[in-house]
């Protein structure tokens, strides 16, 4: 069984022992309902540190009023077992009082300008304020040397990098690759909301990202590639929030500069919102 702590004092006592021994500490922040994508982050963390802490906290401040906070899957026993198997040393399982000691309404919010307002930020107003605010708290509580985040939430990764640079957290941010189902669908806790027919259609997201990559490699105009992807996804039954090509920093690509482009899609199938992305310079067999 993995050692689990819920309180801040207990967490700090545990970490202090490791620090006294000069051990490098990794943090993998999660919202639980862990799948192989999370487990691969734990394994990557093991290769980057002596000790690995995972946090499981379904953070209320990053969900909008009409989103799935209440029904977000909570599976603490299975999470603990999976973390132990993947090589995690400590599970931090805080309640709301530990993360927001003054209450959620009185909580200090951190806003990353620009990034917080586009793509995911435009579709989910306030989402990245909640993410940045909870991650900053986790960084202060754990004070890790390194923290790991999946590339599947690409914009989140950029928000965290901005946060770390601007607030001078002495933490290395290590991205983990997107882990996919055999048909290419990116693993996500939200995939289990999909009905059988929706699950069959969901693979169109990665198929469209691959097509966007192929069309960009042929030098086709970006606006046309985006429009076609949007139309194909809508025809397959998605309500599309965006299907776009951006630079690695999420700025709009400049004509004639195709280096480091990334395709990003967010679309809903019924009540399930799915996101995925594909770096166009990733090797073709990687995804
Ligand atoms: O990616 C997630 O699971 C969450 O956004 C995170 C980083 C754990 C913050 O709540």
Measured CA distances, 195 to 67, 152, 191, 240, 261 (Å): 18, 22, 9, 18, 33
Task: Identify whether 38 is a catalytic site residue.
Answer: yes
CA-153 nearest atom, ligand 1: 1
Q: Are 194 and 170 within one domain?
A: no
Last residue in a domain, options 145, 176, 207: 176
What is the per-residue pLDDT for 287?
53
Q: Are 171 and 205 within one domain?
A: no
Q: How many domains does the chain have?
A: 2
Residue 182 lies in a domain: no
Mean pLDDT for 211-218 is 96
DSSP state of 104: S
* 181-187 contact pairs (CB < 8 A, 24+): 184/287, 186/37, 186/152, 186/274, 186/275, 186/276, 187/35, 187/36, 187/37, 187/152
CATH, residue 71 = 3.40.50.620
Q: Catalytic: which of 14, 35, 38, 162?
A: 38
CATH, residue 260 = 3.30.1300.10
Q: Are 125 and 258 within one domain?
A: no
Predicted confidence band of residue 284 (pLDDT cuts 50, 70, 90) = low
* 247-272: pLDDT as tens digits: 999 999 988 777 899 999 999 999 99
Instruction: For residue 64, report the distance from its CA to the centre of ligand 1, in Å.
Output: 14
Q: Are 160 and 199 within one domain?
A: no
Mean pLDDT for 33-51 is 98
* 52-110: pLDDT as tens digits: 999 999 999 999 999 999 999 999 999 999 999 999 999 999 999 999 999 999 999 99
CA-59 nearest atom, ligand 1: 10
Q: Are 166 and 208 within one domain?
A: no
Residue 17 lies in a domain: yes
End-to-end CA distance of the chain: 34
Q: Are 109 and 41 within one domain?
A: yes
What is the per-residue pLDDT for 258?
77
Model confidence, pTM: 0.96
Q: By residue range, what is the domain housing residue 115?
A: 3-176
């Amino acid at each position: 069984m993995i050692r689990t702590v819920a309180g801040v004092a207990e967490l700090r006592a545990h970490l202090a022992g490791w620090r006294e021994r000069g051990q490098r500490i990794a943090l993998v922040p999660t919202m639980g309902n862990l799948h192989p994508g999370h487990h691969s982050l734990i394994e990557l963390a093991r290769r980057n540190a002596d000790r690995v802490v995972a946090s499981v906290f379904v953070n209320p401040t990053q969900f909008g009023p009409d989103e799935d906070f209440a029904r977000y899957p909570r599976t603490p026993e299975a999470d603990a077992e999976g973390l132990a198997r993947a090589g995690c040393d400590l599970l931090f399982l805080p309640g709301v009082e530990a993360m927001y000691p003054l209450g959620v309404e009185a909580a200090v919010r951190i806003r990353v300008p620009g990034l917080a307002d586009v793509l995911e930020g435009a579709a989910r107003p306030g989402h990245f304020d909640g993410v940045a605010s909870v991650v900053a708290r986790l960084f202060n509580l754990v004070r890790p040397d390194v923290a790991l985040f999946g590339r599947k939430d690409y914009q989140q990764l950029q928000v965290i990098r901005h946060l770390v640079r601007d607030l001078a957290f002495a933490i290395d941010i290590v991205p983990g690759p997107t882990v996919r189902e055999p048909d290419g669908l990116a693993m996500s806790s939200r995939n289990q909301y999909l009905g059988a027919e929706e699950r069959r259609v969901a693979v169109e997201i990665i198929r469209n990202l691959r097509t966007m990559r192929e069309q960009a490699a042929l030098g086709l105009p970006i606006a046309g590639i985006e429009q076609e992807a949007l139309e194909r996804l809508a025809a397959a039954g998605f309500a599309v929030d965006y299907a776009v090509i951006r630079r690695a920093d999420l700025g709009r690509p400049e004509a004639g500069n195709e280096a480091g482009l990334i395709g990003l899609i967010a679309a809903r199938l019924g009540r399930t919102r799915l996101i995925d992305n594909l770096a166009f310079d990733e090797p073709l067999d990687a995804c």
